[in-house]
Amino acid sequence: MEYPRAGAHYPRSTGEFLAWFGTDEDCLDYLEWLRWPGGFTCQSCGHADGWRLGDGRFECAACHRRTSVTAGTIFDRTRTPMTVWFTACWLFATQKDGISAQSLQRSLEIGSYPTAWAMLHRLRSVLVRPGRDRLSGTVQVDETFIGGDEPGLAGGRARGTGAGRRARPGPLPGPARRQETAPGTGRAGLGSPAKPRPSSGQPAMENRRAPAAATNPAPVK
């Protein structure tokens, strides 16, 4: 598979992002393109022909099972508009230090904190690629903060410096970015299609949370 390229497979700037994903329909078109680059393929029987129903779902021409482009992805059965989801993805992928549920809720005017938290939870769950290869070749690690605030001091003052001039350790890291020899690999971002994965019993490596939403088998509707 061709490596995802900025400007072709995912936006290279916020301006491009806004131009690409102005409506929910834009977002769904994009997901369709990612998921079925050669046209609709039935995930039940593998038949590569079907049609789109009036409600936006797809029906297989062979087995007549119906599915949607979001089935089996982190966007499955969401009530949050796709534009909000996509903006959350964009912020999640582009903010160097990551994004908190609170700032996501504020910046996107998401109805409740639990909703924003659940969205981030789903996004984090798909950063882990079970069975991925180890990094090889030249590995670059972007600026990363290790450690956290020293406990017990108000206002973030560092212990033993009086005025707190000593540089404090930064916040806990956002996703450390890594790069292998081939550009684009190993990076988590919008360029990696949220492909539904078969629900296997594989352990989720380095993942403290269950990657539930991303690996659920698509429900038959």
Range in contact with Zn ion (rule: CB under 5 A) among 45-53, 118-126, 128-136, 190-198: 45-53
Largest Cα–Cα distance in the chain?
74
In angstroms, the CA 20 to CA 18 distance is 6
Closest distance between Zn ion and the C-beta of residue 126, in Å? Answer: 25
Figure out which of the listed residues 8, 18, 45, 141 binds Zn ion, where binding follows CB under 5 A: 45
Residue 175: Cβ within 10 Å count: 18
The smaller minimum CB distance to Zn ion, of residues 60 and 108, is found at 60
Is residue 47 close enough to count as binding Zn ion by CB under 5 A?
yes
Closest distance between Zn ion and the C-beta of residue 64, in Å? Answer: 7
| Residues in Cβ contact with 214 at an 8 Å cutoff, skipping those fewer than 6 apart | 73, 74, 122, 125, 126, 194, 196, 197
The smaller minimum CB distance to Zn ion, of residues 59 and 97, is found at 59
Figure out which of the listed residues 19, 63, 210, 220 binds Zn ion, where binding follows CB under 5 A: 63
DSSP strands (E only) in the chain: 50-52, 58-60, 66-67, 140-141, 178-179
Binding residues for Zn ion (CB under 5 A)? 42, 44-45, 47, 60, 62-63
